[in-house]
Amino acid sequence: MTTSPNPESDPARKILTLAQAQAWHAQLRAAGKSLAVTNGAFDLLHRGHATYLWQAAQQADALLVAINSDASVQASKGPDRPLVNENDRAYLVASLACVSAVVIFNDPKPVDVFKAIPPEVYVKGGDYTEDSLDREEHAILRQAGARFVFIPLVDGCSTTATVRRIREARPDQTRSDRPAAASATGLNPRLDFIFRRRSVRRYQLRPVAEAMVTDLLQAAMAAPSARACDPWHFVILADDALRADLAAKLPNGPFLADAPTAIVVCGDLQKANAQSESFLLVDCAAAIENILLAATALGLGACWLGIHPRPERTAMLRQALNLPESIIPVAIITLGWPAEDHEPRTRAKAARIHRNTF
């Protein structure tokens, strides 16, 4: 005997417009029930998402999940994401028994959702704190009287890591022929991460995970260096007060104070090829560029703040960071999730290219 499907249990019924979700919330309230809200991209749904959402659901009588639209994911994570379109992401999240309802939001932040549906509880991943939440979102939720709950993330579950594993396992496509269709800019789309690298000077409040900083430093130390002398050293400016203090002393980088992290790239004159400052500088510059390109590839924004050769800036950093005599600070790289967009571009000029002779 076959049983006919129960339309009531169709996950699609849980995907609501904002107006429908508002009406549903009003009914919940009328029944004296509480609502927890969380938000995210939920791109490539994994065990960590499922655990997180189940824990979020334990915080109230019902759980509403606000899902970033495709445009919204692209704005925050770069043009390679999302991997799964918004309707499919919403359907998968709605398929979880612990999820009561789903809405898709189009703006970079879900402020319209919070305004329309002020929840009793707001749930966010443990990589955030109340201090690092977006200020506008925090203010709206605070005003609504929401309780904030931060749920530790499950170790080893990350879409970015999964994507990386899949990409590493697949044959090297960079050696194949150039694709017939170039990007809209006429630049080779395979070099996108180079053309998209622009100086980013405004950042979201969202922190940069330690693991990403580690990735950036591995990229830095993959740079070429003269006779592989690797003269570089890196000082991570993890402390908010330290970054604010240095920003106040640097005429060229007030935004260092607002960046969630930064790296000082230094070189050791004793270690540089021929103990030459010129070799030290070119080696460190290669490492700096690797960090900037790696940051772009990971969806982060970064800016090179010039330190060397200005004596007042190198002296200030030497003192502030307790740098030994032979260590020369070359640059500070500010880092964070971008809060400004720049067009991909090159500044290539035919007049700068010479063939065989100048």
Q: DSSP 3-state assignment of 174?
A: helix
As measured in angstroms, the least distance from the Cβ of 347 to ligand FMN is 7
Q: DSSP 3-state assignment of 123?
A: strand
Peptide bond into 82 cis (omega under 30): yes
Nearer to ligand FMN, 167 or 342 (CB): 342
Nearer to ligand FMN, 212 or 303 (CB): 303
As measured in angstroms, the least distance from the Cβ of 304 to ligand FMN is 4
As measured in angstroms, the least distance from the Cβ of 253 to ligand FMN is 5
Residue 191 CB neighbour total at 10 angstroms: 12
Q: How far is CA 179 from the centre of its chain?
A: 28
CA pair distance 153, 55, nearest whole angstrom: 11
As measured in angstroms, the least distance from the Cβ of 293 to ligand FMN is 11
As measured in angstroms, the least distance from the Cβ of 345 to ligand FMN is 7
Dihedral of CA atoms 61, 66, 67, 68 in degrees, nearest 10, equals -160
Residues that bind ligand FMN (CB under 6 A): 198-199, 201, 252-253, 303-306, 342
Nearer to ligand FMN, 44 or 317 (CB): 317
Of 296, 298, 282, 294, the C-alpha closest to 331 is: 282
CA pair distance 342, 185, nearest whole angstrom: 13
Nearer to ligand FMN, 227 or 342 (CB): 342
Nearer to ligand FMN, 85 or 199 (CB): 199
Position of tokens 């028994």? 97
Position of tokens 């020369």? 328
Q: How far is CA 265 from the centre of its chain?
A: 21
Q: Which residue is nearest to ligand FMN (CB)?
A: 306
As measured in angstroms, the least distance from the Cβ of 285 to ligand FMN is 8
Nearer to ligand FMN, 81 or 197 (CB): 197
